[in-house]
Structure formats: C-alpha cells, structure tokens
C-alpha cells in the first residue's frame, strides 16, 4: 500500500505554524489508528499542536476523523429527542446522578455515556458501582431498551466509539500534551458526537479543583467545543461553573451517591441542587421544552421514580445499604469564626489518597472512602466543631490525606464577610 502522505512532513508543518489540510488530517488519524504512524511521530505532532495550536477547521477535521475511526450510534428510532451532558470533572461533582433522571422524567431520552475517575477527579461509573448489583457495561440493545422504557441510562461507552481518540488519549497522558485545547476538545467531542445524541450541554469547570484552572482557558475550551458540536449538527451549549470549592458536602463514591439521592428527594446541599437545576433547564431547552418546571419534578418525586427504575434496570438495588467506611478521622475547628476558604484540589487529593480514586486505570477504588464536609465557605463555626471527616477502610491512609489538606482551609474572625461567587459564571452558545 502506498501512503498518501509522510508523517514527518505533517510534523514539520505544525512545527512551523502551518495548517494541515482535511486530506492530511484524515490520513493521519487513519494511519495512526492502524499503526503506520508511530507513537513517537504522533507525540511530536501533539507537542507541536500544544505549542502552536490549530485553526477551527483543523480541529473540526481532527474531530470528524476520530469519529470516522469507529462506529456512530443513531437514536432516531426512539421517537423522542435525545440530550446528553458532559462535565470536564471536578471535586464532589456528582451532578450526573440526579440530573439524568430529572431530565428523563420529562419524556426526553438521556443517553449518558460516562467514564471512570483518574487522579483527583471522580468517575460517575465508580460512584454508581457503590450500589450493590449495579453494572456499568450494557450492550447497545440493552441501552436502547432502557432509553425506551425508562428514558435515561448511565453506562460505560463501548470500545467502538472513536477508537482513534482512545489511542491518542493514552499517548497524551504520557507525553505532557494533555493540556492542548485542540486535543482536549476533539477528544471530548469526537466521543459525544459519535454517541449520536441530538443535543449536548457541556459543564466546563474552572478553578483550583478543575482540569482547566484558569477561567480564560476554560472559556476558550468551552467555545471550541460548542463550535465543534454545532458544526457537526449537534445543538451544543456550555455553562462555565466554579470549581474553586468542592461541590456539595460529599467527596468520594458511596457518599456522593447518598448525597445525590438526597437531592432527588428534594433536599441536599444548595449548590448541588442549583447546578442540577441549571443544567436540567439548559438540556430541556435544547430538547424543545424551554418552560419545563424542573424544580417541581425534583420535589414531587418524579425524578426519584426515574432514578429507581434506572438503577433497577441495570441490576442495582436502589434500597440496598451503601458501603460505609471502617475507619473515620474527624478534623475540628481550632477556633470560632467564619470558614472563609476551602480549596477544592487538596480535598480531592485527600479523597484520592484515602482510596476513593486511582493513579492508574487498572487500580481499584474503595467505594466507602472519601471526605464528608460539615461546613462550607461562609458558614460560622465554633471551636471544636467538626469541619470534615476523612473516610477510609485503612487508618494508615489518614496521615497522607491530612498532609494534602494542610493549609487548604481557613477560619477568619466572626463577622468576616466573603464575596459571593456565582456557581454558574457564564453561558456559551
């Protein structure tokens, strides 16, 4: 077989700030997927992209080429609109759990293909696997049946979706090129577009606990992904949300499921409820229901009913007790005053060190491990009051977790006011 292009020429083009053509990008992705372009060559190209960027047309071509490397799902036979949500990940971000059943309770199909956690950001599938019997892997037939019967599904993405991205993602993770916005955007959107959803809402987080800590970079990523979605015919919008403080009071797996069920019962922390409702409104607007009363559906039990049916459909017992940590360590307030700071990243790292996360994809997670917060910034505390509790199955994990959160929180004198920070900072469409 005679190859149409030479990888070295394409590397030089990007190294020298040039633009790759559509045929060049199509060939590159195909040749890399089948092994003709080596990891060393693709690593060099990824670094050139990190340093010099890509044009909108290049990013679009890269995304479409990665989609073309695998299968593309089609939900048109369901006879109802489909809408999905993707979050760039954060600390305590369990929003998918109450959001899917809430939106599905309005007769909209929600095919939520999710992943596992790596590092300090938790994975939706890891959280749900805290529920006895629940299974993440479904066949396409099972997924379609659940979308028809229940309205929503949270499950693992099949290996057939954008296999080129899976190979490139692993390479980026080991070559210092994860942060390249064109590669992040094409990675996320190739899978979401291949998934076949009719519309998509992106939750792009910024702040200390986010993948993209800088607001302007997060905004650039959001705009790039929204453009990619709309260029591909998927109605796409994004909300930029603050991840400087952990979301909710639970960080981990089983404890985040408990908190999600509280939200579905009409309670739960105010910030988790607020973001769930904001994303639900955005999803339903794209699905043709701009006036849907999402608060009523959360409070009157409709969303909870859908949750229970979805969990049961995947073999889980929604009434089964969730795992409880064998060991706990409570950290109390050393003085009275106002909690004015609670940095998200250190608490995410602490949960990870306690066993709630993994360093490698092959590592297991401890479903009962994590952190329970007892106060949030702005709350008044008194000396001796519990500030947070570390949860683990092995007390030997506590010292390193405590190291992670040292200096990550601050109590100021009583009466100190802290500026209000909107949870949803911007909307991109």
Active-site residue among 60, 120, 127, 172?
172
Residue 185: both structure tokens together: 């955007």
Residue 269 and residue 271: Cα distance in Å, rounded?
6
Active-site residue among 87, 105, 114, 187?
187
Task: Let me know if 167 is a catalytic residue.
Answer: no
Order of strands across the sheet with 250-252?
250-252, 370-373, 386-392, 327-332
3-class DSSP string for the chain: CCCCCCHHHHHHHHHCCCCCCHHHHHHHHHHHHCCCCCHHHHHHHHHHHHHHCCCHHHHHHHHHHHHHCCCCCCCHHHCCCEEEEEECCCCCCCCHHHHHHHHHCCCCEEEEEECCCECCECCHHHHHCCCCCCCCCCCHHHHHHHHHHCCEEEEECCCCCCHHHHHHHHHHHHCCCCCCHHHHHHHHHHHHHHHCCCEEEEEEEECCCCCCCCHHHHHHHHHHHHHHHHHCCCEEEEEEEECCCCCCCEEECHHHHHHHHHHHCCCCCHHHHHHHHHHHHHHHHHCCCCCCCHHHHHHCCHHHHHHHHHHHHCCCCCCCCCCCCCEEEEEECCCCEEEEEECHHHHHHHHHHHHHCCCCCCCCCCCCCEEEECCCCCCEECCCCEEEEEEECCHHHHHHHHHHHCCCEEEECCCCCCCCCCCEEEEEC
Task: Let me know if 191 is a catalytic residue.
Answer: yes
Under a CB-based contact definition with an 8 Å cutoff, are residues 203 and 241 in contact? yes
Active-site residue among 14, 85, 86, 281?
86
Residue 67: both structure tokens together: 């989609």
Active-site residue among 191, 329, 353, 367?
191
- 163-174 and 22-33 are packed helices; what angle lies between their axes, rounded to 10 degrees? 80
Exposed/middle/buried for 417, CB within 10 Å: 0-12, 13-18, 19+? exposed
Task: Let me know if 17 is a catalytic residue.
Answer: no
Active-site residue among 93, 165, 271, 372?
165
3-class DSSP string for 319-347: CCCCCCCCEEEEEECCCCEEEEEECHHHH
Kindly list the catalytic residues.
Answer: 86, 165, 172, 187, 191
């Amino acid at each position: 077989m005679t190859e149409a292009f030479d990888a070295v020429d394409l590397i030089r083009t990007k190294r020298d700030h040039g633009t790759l053509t559509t045929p060049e990008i199509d060939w590159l992705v195909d040749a890399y997927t089948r092994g003709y372009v080596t990891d060393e060559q693709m690593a060099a190209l990824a670094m050139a992209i990190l340093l010099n960027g890509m044009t909108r047309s290049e990013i679009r071509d890269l995304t479409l080429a990665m989609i073309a490397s695998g299968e593309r799902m089609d939900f048109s036979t369901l006879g109802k609109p489909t809408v999905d949500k993707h979050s760039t990940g954060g600390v305590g971000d369990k929003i998918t759990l109450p959001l899917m059943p809430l939106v599905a309770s309005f007769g909209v199909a929600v095919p939520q293909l999710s992943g596992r956690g790596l590092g300090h950001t938790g994975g939706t599938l890891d959280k749900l696997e805290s529920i006895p019997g629940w299974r993440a892997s479904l066949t396409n037939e099972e997924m379609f049946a659940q979308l028809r019967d229940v309205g929503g599904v949270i499950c693992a993405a099949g290996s057939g979706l954008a296999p080129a991205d899976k190979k490139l993602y692993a390479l980026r993770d080991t070559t210092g090129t994860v942060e390249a916005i064109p590669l992040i955007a094409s990675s996320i959107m190739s899978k979401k577009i291949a998934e076949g959803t009719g519309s998509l809402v992106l939750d792009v987080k910024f702040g200390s606990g986010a993948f993209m800590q800088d607001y302007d970079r997060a905004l650039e990523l959001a705009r790039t992904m929204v453009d990619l979605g709309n260029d591909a015919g998927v109605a796409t919008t994004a909300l930029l949300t603050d991840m400087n403080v952990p979301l909710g009071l639970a960080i981990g797996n089983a404890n985040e499921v408990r908190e999600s069920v509280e939200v579905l019962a009409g309670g739960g922390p105010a910030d988790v409820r607020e973001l769930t409702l904001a994303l639900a409104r955005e999803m339903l607007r794209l699905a043709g229901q701009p006036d849907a009363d999402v608060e009523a559906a959360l409070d009157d039990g409709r969303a909870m009913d859908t949750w229970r049916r979805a969990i049961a459909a995947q073999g889980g017992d929604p009434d089964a007790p969730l795992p409880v940590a064998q060991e706990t360590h409570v950290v109390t307030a050393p003085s009275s005053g106002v909690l004015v700071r609670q940095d998200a990243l250190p608490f995410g790292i602490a949960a990870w060190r306690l066993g709630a996360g993994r360093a490698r994809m092959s590592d297991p997670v401890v479903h009962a491990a994590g952190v329970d917060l007892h106060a949030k910034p702005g709350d008044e505390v008194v000396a001796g009051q519990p500030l947070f509790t570390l949860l683990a199955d092995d007390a030997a994990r506590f010292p390193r977790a405590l190291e992670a959160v040292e200096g990550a929180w601050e109590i100021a004198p009583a009466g100190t006011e802290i500026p209000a920070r909107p949870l949803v900072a911007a909307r991109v469409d």
